[in-house]
Amino acid sequence: MPTPASISSLEPILKTIYDDQAKVIAFYSHPLLGRVPKNEKFFGDNFVQTVRFVGGQGVSADFTKALNNRNPNQYRKFTITRFSMYGVGSITGEAIEAAQGSMYTMAEGLESEIKGLFTTIGITAAAAMYRSGSGTIGKGAALLSATVLQLASPSDAIHFGVGGTIGSSPTDGSGPQNVGTIQIVAIDMEAGTITANVGWAVGIAGFAATDFLFIDGNYNAEMPGLLKWIPPTPPAPGDNLYGVDRSVAPVELAGMRINGQGAPREQTWQKAMALAARFGARIDEGYMHPEDLAKMTISLGSQVRRVPTPATVASVGYEAVEVVGATGTVKVYGDPDCPEGFAWGIKKSTWELRTLKAMPRFLDLDGNRILRESAADAYEFRIGYRGALRCDSPKDNICITW
């Protein structure tokens, strides 16, 4: 006889299914997010990370001068704070009642809703890993009609979803956001167009076709990623990353950078690794957009060697292309979350995604994963994460642009 189902009877099922599978769902198809080292003990108000960027300067062939000219090591302290991301979903009471044959039938009814939300929050986190913390996930290029916007980079369309609420700003985090939002009603992933429920300029005051776009609530509220830690241009005076002005030592505190200026991608990678060797860095992994990786592998032809590699989570793996250069063999991954036209060569051990408990997870401090909504015939579930990406040796990493 089927076991009668109830909301409370779902708890052990959800625990069994999602405590093991949440990371697999969220990290699938996101190589950087999946492979970066994890630490789930981000307790306290913040994490103070000290980076030594200059050794002691008391050196001379003359002892007295070495003694008199001595200066201590130079350090900078990054006071790293957490960033929160929330995902909220619900299922109607009618849908739950219709599945009351058994608790497993009811769980199956919830599965697609919950799995979909874990997938979406994984996409959001994966995009943030590469961005500057501004919340930007795309930039407009031209209005094809009052409601249809062409993205400057069509590949950025993967970060948007039908039903999503989007805001805009004329700047990528350095100025205020525009007033108002639109809701997406259609997306053409191949063409890179997104269609709003109303005219873009109607829903968003002062909207311009070249505005930067972000999910409502995310503007300047996401964790800084590679674009901030290892930027394509040297930090200018007044730079501020977690309280540090990195312009005093751009390589040591903000990594290396190289612009290929139109040269073939494989040549630019070789020059990037040569630059890394010049500064004593050892790059062991690389990340670039699949389109850029394809152009590189086509040029390399039979020289390409593909190798499967695991994530930090069992059951998730990615395929890399090996490139040999001045720093040794580098595994390069095609990651759809990497902005097209950019690539990063990293020393993996210098990075850590530090979170407060698991990422992502159910937000259930009261022990309830399914909550009855007070103003609707529906039941709500909440997931999310709290954390930040950190790098304890920026000089061992490089940003590459083509």
CATH number for the domain harbouring residue 339? 3.30.2320
Do the domain assignments include residue 1? no
Same-domain pairing of 45 and 102: yes
pLDDT digits (tens, 9 = 90+) for 187-216: 999 999 999 999 999 999 999 999 999 999
Q: Are residues 204 and 263 in the same domain?
A: no
Identify whether residues 18 and 121 lie together within a single domain.
yes
In a domain, 222, yes or no: no
| b/e 46-57 (16+ beta carbons within 10 angstroms → b) | ebebebebeeee
Tokens of 199: 């005219």
Looking at the structure, do residues 271 and 397 belong to the same domain, yes or no?
yes
Helices (H) and strands (E) in the chain, counts: 10, 21
Rounded CA separation 33/313 (Å) = 11
Query: 348 and 363: one domain?
Result: no
The rounded distance, in Å, linking the Cα atoms of 362 and 252 is 38
Residues 6+ apart with CB under 8 A from 338: 32, 130, 287, 288, 289, 344
pLDDT confidence of residue 1: 32
Residue type, 74: Q
Please indicate, yes or no, if residue 177 is contained in any of the structural domains. Answer: yes
pLDDT attached to residue 29: 87
Write down which residue in 156, 183, 215 finishes a domain: 215
The total domain count for the chain is: 3
Q: Choose among 202, 257, 248: nearest CA to 401.
A: 257
pLDDT for 4 equals: 36
Identify whether residues 21 and 101 lie together within a single domain: yes
Query: Is there a single domain that holds both residue 117 and residue 169?
Result: no
Instruction: List alpha helices for 162-308, DSSP H.
Output: 200-203, 226-229, 250-254, 265-278, 290-300
Instruction: Tell me, yes or no, whether 229 lies in a domain.
Output: no
Strands 305-310 and 317-325 come out as: antiparallel
Q: Would you say residue 228 lies in a domain? A: no
Predicted confidence at residue 105, as pLDDT, reads: 55
| pLDDT tens figures, 47-57 | 999 887 777 67
Confirm whether 242 is domain-assigned.
yes
Q: In the listed set 165, 183, 215, which residue is the last one of a domain according to the structure?
A: 215
Tokens for 224, please give them.
């800084």
Q: Domain of 122? A: 10-131+356-389
Domain assignment of residue 315, yes or no:
yes
- Report the distance separating Cα 167 and Cα 331, nearest Å: 37
Query: Residue 176: what pLDDT?
Result: 95
pTM for this predicted structure: 0.88
* 191 shares its domain with 324: no
pLDDT number for residue 7: 56
Q: Are residues 184 and 250 in the same domain?
A: no
Q: Is residue 149 helix, strand or coil?
A: strand
Residues of the chain with pLDDT under 70: 1-20, 56, 95-96, 98-110, 112, 301-306, 311-315
* 225 falls within a domain: no
Q: Alpha carbon of 23 to those of 202, 233, 383, 385: distances in Å?
A: 39, 34, 12, 11
* Statement to judge: residues 31 and 119 lie in one domain: yes
Residue 397 and residue 254 share a domain: yes
The verdict on 256 and 299 lying in the same domain is yes
Domain boundary among 156, 186, 215: 215
d(CA 52, CA 55): 7
